[in-house]
Chains A and B, each alone.
Chain A
Amino acid sequence: MRYLLRKLGFYLVALWAALTVNFFVPRLMPGDPVDILLSKLGQRGPVTPEMRASTEALLGTSSGKSLLSQYLEYLGNLAHGDLGVSVTFFPASVSSIIEQTLPWTIGLIGLATVISFLVGVGLGTAAGWKRGSWLDSLIPVTTMFQSVPYFWLALILLFLFGSVWPLFPLNGGYDVYTVEPGWNLDFIGSVLYYGALPALTIILSSVGGWMLGMRNMMVSTLSEDYMVTAEAKGLRPGRIMRRYAARNAILPSVSGFAISLGFVVAGSIVTEAVFSYPGIGSALLQAVGGNDYALMQGIFLVITLSVLGANLLVDLLYSVIDPRTRARA
Chain B
Amino acid sequence: MSKLKAAVAAAAALTLVVVAGCSGDKSDGGTKGNAGNSSITVFNGSTGTIVENWNPFSPTLLQPTQGLIYETLYWFNFAKESDPTPMLGTAFSWDSAGKVLTITTRDGVKWSDGQPFSAKDVAFTFDLVKRTPAINASGLKLVSSVAKDDKTAVLTFAVPSFTAEAAVIANTPIVAEHVWSKIDDPAKSINPNPVGTGPYQLKTFSAQSYVMEKNPNYWQAGKPQIQNVRYVALATADAATAALTAGQVDWMSAFLPGLEQLLKNQKNLTYVNTPAMTTSIFTCAGAELGCEGPQTDPAVRQAIYYALNRDQLNKLAGGGFAETASPTLLLPERDKKWIADQANATTPGAPDVAKANQVLDAAGWVKGSDGIRAKGGEKLSMTIQTVTGWSDYISLNDAMKQELKEVGIEVKPTQLSWNEWNNNQVQGKFQLSLDSIGLGASTNPYFTYLKYTTVTTAKVGEAAQNSGNYSRYKNPRVDAAIAAATNTNDEAAQKAQYAIIQQEIVKDLPYIPIYVNSMLTEFSTANAVGWPTNENKYALPASWKSWDNGVVLSNLQPAK
Binding site for B on A (CB under 8 A): 29-32, 35-39, 41-55, 57-58, 86, 88-92, 97, 100-101, 149, 151-152, 155-156, 158-159, 163-164, 166, 170-174, 176-178, 180-181, 273, 276, 278, 282-283, 285-286, 289, 291
Contact = CB atoms under 8 A, between A and B. Distances in A.
B187 A58 contact: yes
Given A30-B423, A48-B139, A49-B456, 17 more contacts: A45-B441, A46-B166, A47-B468, A50-B137, A58-B58, A88-B60, A89-B49, A91-B188, A92-B52, A92-B190, A101-B207, A159-B11, A159-B14, A170-B239, A171-B235, A176-B208, A276-B234
Interface string B184-205: 0001111000000000000010
B455 A49 contact: yes
B232 interface: yes
Contact of B15 (A37, A86, A89, A159): A159
A195 B82 CA distance: 50
A159 B549 CA distance: 34
A30 B417 CA distance: 9
A51 B171 CA distance: 13
Interface string B222-257: 000000001011111001001100001000000000
A60 to B, nearest CB: 9
Nearest to A182: B206
Contact of B28 (A35, A46, A53, A177): A177
A151 B4 CA distance: 11
Given A46-B441, A283-B48, A54 B422 contact: no
The majority secondary structure among interface residues of chain B is: loop
A81 B511 CA distance: 48
A50 B235 CA distance: 33
Contact of A39 (B137, B243, B420, B422): B422
A54 B540 CA distance: 28
A289 B418 contact: yes
B49 A176 contact: no
B59 A100 contact: no
Contact of B49 (A171, A273, A282): A282
A41 B233 CA distance: 19
Nearest to A291: B419
B22 to A, nearest CB: 8
B48 A50 contact: no
Interface of B: 4, 7-8, 11-12, 14-15, 18-19, 26, 28-31, 41, 47-49, 51-53, 55, 58-60, 133-139, 166-167, 171, 187-190, 204, 206-209, 230, 232-236, 239, 242-243, 248, 417-420, 422-426, 436, 438-441, 447, 455-456, 463, 465-468, 544-546
Contacts, number: 199
Contacts of A43: 436, 438, 467
Contact of B4 (A152, A166, A173, A285): A152
B11 A283 contact: no
B133 A53 contact: yes
Contacts of B136: 50, 54
A54 B133 contact: yes
B59 A42 contact: no
Contacts of A49: 139, 455-456, 465, 468
Contact of A51 (B166, B239, B447, B466): B466
Given A46-B441, A171-B239, A177 B11 contact: no
Contacts of A177: 28-31, 41, 230, 248
Contacts of A100: 49, 51, 207
A322 B277 CA distance: 68
17 contacts: A30-B417, A31-B422, A32-B423, A42-B438, A43-B438, A45-B439, A46-B167, A46-B439, A50-B137, A51-B466, A90-B60, A100-B51, A171-B243, A177-B31, A180-B204, A273-B235, A286-B48
Contacts of B236: 276
A222 B208 CA distance: 52
Most chain A beta-carbon neighbours within 10 Å: one of B12, B18, B423: B423
A57 B133 contact: yes
Contacts of A173: 208
A93 to B, nearest CB: 10
A31 B11 CA distance: 34
A177 B42 CA distance: 12
Contacts of B206: 176, 180-181
Contact of B138 (A46, A52, A158, A170): A46
A29 to B, nearest CB: 7
A86 B52 CA distance: 13
Contact of B53 (A36, A57, A91, A156): A91
> When A and B form their complex, which 8 residue pairs have the shortest distance between CB atoms, in order from nearest?
A50-B139, A42-B467, A276-B235, A176-B209, A38-B466, A31-B419, A46-B441, A89-B51
A39 B58 CA distance: 15
A289 B14 CA distance: 28
B426 A163 contact: no
B8 A155 contact: yes
A38 B464 CA distance: 11
A159 B16 CA distance: 10
A92 B48 CA distance: 15
Nearest to A53: B133
Given A88-B60, A92-B51, A286-B48, A44 B135 contact: no
A174 B463 contact: no
A52 B466 contact: yes
A57 B187 contact: yes
A178 B30 contact: yes
A218 to B, nearest CB: 35
A246 to B, nearest CB: 38
Nearest to A50: B139
Given A44-B439, A50-B139, A90 B19 contact: no
Contact of B466 (A42, A170, A172, A289): A42
B128 to A, nearest CB: 13
Contacts of A149: 4
A46 B440 contact: yes
B546 A44 contact: yes
A35 B48 contact: no
A152 B8 contact: yes
Given A49-B456, A51-B466, A155-B8, A35 B423 contact: yes
A32 B462 CA distance: 12
Contact of A47 (B31, B208, B422, B467): B467
Which of B137, B206, B418, B426: most chain A Cβ within 10 A? B137
B51 to A, nearest CB: 4
Contacts of B14: 159
Contact of B59 (A37, A53, A151): A37
Contacts of B19: 163
